[in-house]
Amino acid sequence: MSAQNKADYSFLGRTGLKVSNVCLGTNMFGISEVEPLAVFNSNPKRQNEVEAHKLLDRYIELGGNFLDTADVYGAGISQKIIGNWLKTKRRSDIIISSKVWFPMDWNTKNNIGLSRRHIINTCDETLERLQTNYIDLFQAHIWDNATPIEDTLRTFDDLVRCGKIRYYGFSNICGWQLQKIVDLSRHLNLHPCISLQQQYSLLSRESEVEAFMVCENERICVLPWSPLKGGLLTGKFKRNNIPDATGSRVGHMIARKASGESVSSDWEKFCDDEQYWNLIALMEKFAKAKGKTVAQVAIRWLLQKDIVASVIIGCSSIQQLEDNMGASSGWKLSEEEMQELDKASRTPYSYPYNMLLGTFSTSRMNRFNSSQK
């Protein structure tokens, strides 16, 4: 994307707020010895404060206004890095989303989950690290089996009412959980959940059935995370060529797994998968024809899905940031290209979705029945 080609904006669901359609994920900010989610801790590509501030500055220059963080990213360091940067900017220009659930220390008894206590404590600590007095979007990082969902929803509602958060959303949940959240908040007359942050990409479409059906019906926007499946949707990996340990996150995870750590490696899942290599070949074809990159095609495919408000990217360098932001504006995939990518990346629907999404139900579309759309 040329420097003058600024990001496009879309509404953050029903909020009336406008966010850039590409959101900058900050999971890789901060190098910490005590990363609670140890999976990324030793990744050589984590950014220190100076590098992270350069990424943030360039993102804003390219028209972005939406940052995604969480207390656990870099064990609080990601939020501190953002806070130190934010205080040099006009707060009202930036939309910040954060999350709550995971502990900063796995030995904790209570600093975990979606209890009233943990949500409020995490909110206060997040505000302190970010050096601000409100979070735009506060999200439950995952469902909590130990806390009644009514307590969680009332707490989010209280935080909205007292102005510490503007909106709340959920992440990493399934369809029945989201529908329960919607129905309960309606029944209890609480502020509604406005967004679902979910893993979503050409290699991860599981949420299209159930969770996204609820999103469509209830007008909840989707914020996809890992749009490039950690780098696997960039076209930079070649068949029969095992990525090396230091060149990429993908290679880093392969090496950790090989050394006996119990981490998952997506490379192993896809390296011998014919469908994956055919998909990459198709993306390369479209990218070449349009003068774009494979990563841009992957992000653009998400941006053209109606339920998506903003795609959360992760970048190890300014070049990757510029590349990914180039998906935001000024071009489109054609309907035919979208359909071909849909087809090349789809896993067959199982029962009952093959019936529900088939001709029986689509022959009875009624635009006056809002539950269908």
Ligand X SMILES: NC(=O)c1ccc[n+]([C@@H]2O[C@H](COP(=O)([O-])OP(=O)(O)OC[C@H]3O[C@@H](n4cnc5c(N)ncnc54)[C@H](OP(=O)(O)O)[C@@H]3O)[C@@H](O)[C@H]2O)c1
Residue 225: Cβ within 10 Å count? 20
Minimum separation from the CB atom of position 372 to ligand X (A): 29
Minimum separation from the CB atom of position 290 to ligand X (A): 15
Minimum separation from the CB atom of position 370 to ligand X (A): 29
| 103 vs 314, beta carbon nearer ligand X | 314
| 161 vs 269, beta carbon nearer ligand X | 269
Minimum separation from the CB atom of position 360 to ligand X (A): 35
| 15 vs 316, beta carbon nearer ligand X | 316
Minimum separation from the CB atom of position 303 to ligand X (A): 13
| 213 vs 228, beta carbon nearer ligand X | 228
Residue 198: partners with Cβ closer than 8 Å, 6 or more residues away: 171, 172, 207, 211, 212, 222, 223, 224, 225
| 142 vs 357, beta carbon nearer ligand X | 142
Terminal alpha carbon distance of the chain: 34
- Compute the half-sphere exposure of residue 362: CA atoms within 13 Å on the CB side of its CA: 6
Positive or negative: CA dihedral 309, 96, 220, 355: positive
- Quick check: 172 and 143 in contact, CB under 8 A? yes
Minimum separation from the CB atom of position 41 to ligand X (A): 14
The one-character DSSP state at 29 is B
Minimum separation from the CB atom of position 24 to ligand X (A): 8
| 104 vs 357, beta carbon nearer ligand X | 104
Amino acid at 72: V
Residue 309: partners with Cβ closer than 8 Å, 6 or more residues away: 10, 11, 12, 13, 19, 21, 195, 221, 222, 223
- Compute the half-sphere exposure of residue 267: CA atoms within 13 Å on the CB side of its CA: 26
Residue 87: Cβ within 10 Å count? 11
State which residue has the least CB distance to ligand X: 314
The one-character DSSP state at 75 is G
| 316 vs 345, beta carbon nearer ligand X | 316
Q: Is 308 helix (H, G, I), strand (E, B) or coil?
A: strand
| 80 vs 141, beta carbon nearer ligand X | 141
Positive or negative: CA dihedral 7, 227, 170, 81: negative
Could you list the residues that contact ligand X (CB under 6 A)? Answer: 25-28, 45, 68, 141, 171-172, 197, 225-231, 234, 236, 248-250, 295, 312-316, 320, 323-324
Minimum separation from the CB atom of position 367 to ligand X (A): 34
